[in-house]
Amino acid sequence: MWSFSHIANEMHEGLSATFNPTMTLIIEMVIAGVAVIGLFAGLGLVLVIMERKVSAWMQIRLGPNRVGPKGMLQSLADTLKLIVKEGLTPNGADKFLFNLAPFIAMIVAMLLMAPIAFARDFQLWDLNIGVLYVSAVSSIMVISILMAGWASNNKYSLMGAMRSGAQIVSYELSAGLSILAIVVLTGSLSLSDIIHSQADGWWIFKGHIPVLIAFVTFIIAVTAETNRAPFDLAEAESELTAGFHTEYSGMKFALFFLAEYVNVFIVCAIGATLFLGGWMPFHIGNWQGFNHVMDYIPSSLWFFGKTFFLIFVIMWFRWTFPRLRIDQLLNLEWKYLLPISMFNLLLVTLMAIMGWHF
């Protein structure tokens, strides 16, 4: 059967036959790196056009429709434009940090790809603390944003960076707590263990209301963490021009832009993995016939389908909710989400100990 793990194995065997183990490892690393970069570029193009089409659909208009069939090549053209544009560095900026910041944003996004399981047995690095790794590495994102905002030597940038920093640091808490709910249920931090624990049903179905609460908290928190509307105070156009990337242009701006979309993809992938079973097909109890039909759909399709559904949900938020004020934002986190998710974690722990879940 055609599958990612199959291709990976074929490749590994082919390489081992011709090269010695060290060389094989190096070549495989290079291939993985190229694949991740390719995925990045692909995701950037797809997600940008998706966002524009979704927004157009919500607002009953056409959206981009000139370049390519139905405007599908619009983001390719935009990328081309960004590449040929001049990258300006403002006067009085801290040149080194200013130029470093977009790359850090990019590197963080790339590192986050490592533990994600894209299909059955297809994972770059199955480390035993995968979930923690994701939250640790994503917390580095703030630093690149603060760096960019401060190094630009611009008030708007600094304000945007501050807002986004405060927002990310606070929403990380409830995101982490809702992730912990699933960790408590599975008893493992490894992403592949978490996926395998959902073979008989996804956690969102198995875990009753508490997991549902955790899921909702998670989605809200990650929307805030990726600085997307309705939590996009960091780049509130009406007040701050463009927030922390006001001064960026050309390719450096494109990197921030790309990192934002890739981050959205990653958090949705994590959400899909934790709550919706990752690449696990949809199974209903012991209904063998139905389960077999579901198994025929390739695991990668399941994964990408769930992930893109979540991405769609997050885009849906963006085009339907108005932006929050900063005090509302902080109240929402510290007075509502955090207490709720803490209590929820207790509830889930109780549930896991008593074995009340399916």
Chain residues that interact with other proteins, rule: CB under 8 A = 94, 97, 127-129, 132-133, 135-137, 139-140, 142-143, 146-147, 149-150, 158, 161-162, 165-166, 169, 172, 189
Q: Which is nearer to other proteins, 172 or 260 (CB)?
A: 172
Q: Which is nearer to other proteins, 166 or 212 (CB)?
A: 166
Q: How far is the CB of 21 from other proteins (least distance, A)?
A: 13
User: What is the C-alpha radius of gyration for the chain, rounded to an integer number of angstroms?
Assistant: 21
For the CA atoms of 343, 344, 348, 353, what is the dihedral angle to 10 degrees? 10
Q: How far is the CB of 39 from other proteins (least distance, A)?
A: 24
Q: How far is the CB of 158 from other proteins (least distance, A)?
A: 6
Q: How far is the CB of 140 from other proteins (least distance, A)?
A: 6
Q: Which is nearer to other proteins, 27 or 143 (CB)?
A: 143
**Residue 131: both structure tokens together:** 């979930």
Q: Which is nearer to other proteins, 76 or 97 (CB)?
A: 97
CA distance 29 to 18: 16
Q: How far is the CB of 150 from other proteins (least distance, A)?
A: 5
Q: How far is the CB of 142 from other proteins (least distance, A)?
A: 5
Q: Facing residues of 123 across strands?
A: 117
Q: Which is nearer to other proteins, 152 or 307 (CB)?
A: 152
**Residue 327: both structure tokens together:** 């005090």
Q: How far is the CB of 356 from other proteins (least distance, A)?
A: 23
Q: Which is nearer to other proteins, 142 or 269 (CB)?
A: 142
CA distance 273 to 195: 6
For the CA atoms of 220, 231, 104, 245, what is the dihedral angle to 10 degrees? 170
Q: Which is nearer to other proteins, 44 or 165 (CB)?
A: 165
Q: How far is the CB of 346 from other proteins (least distance, A)?
A: 16
Q: Which is nearer to other proteins, 64 or 160 (CB)?
A: 160
Contact of 239 with 203, CB cutoff 8 Å: no
Q: What b-and-e string marks burial along 57-83, b requiring 16 or more CB atoms within 10 Å of the CB?
A: eeeeeebbeeeeeebebbbeebbeebe
The answer to whether the peptide bond before residue 230 is cis (omega within 30 degrees of 0) is yes
CA distance 108 to 263: 9
Q: Which is nearer to other proteins, 321 or 334 (CB)?
A: 334
Q: How far is the CB of 138 from other proteins (least distance, A)?
A: 8
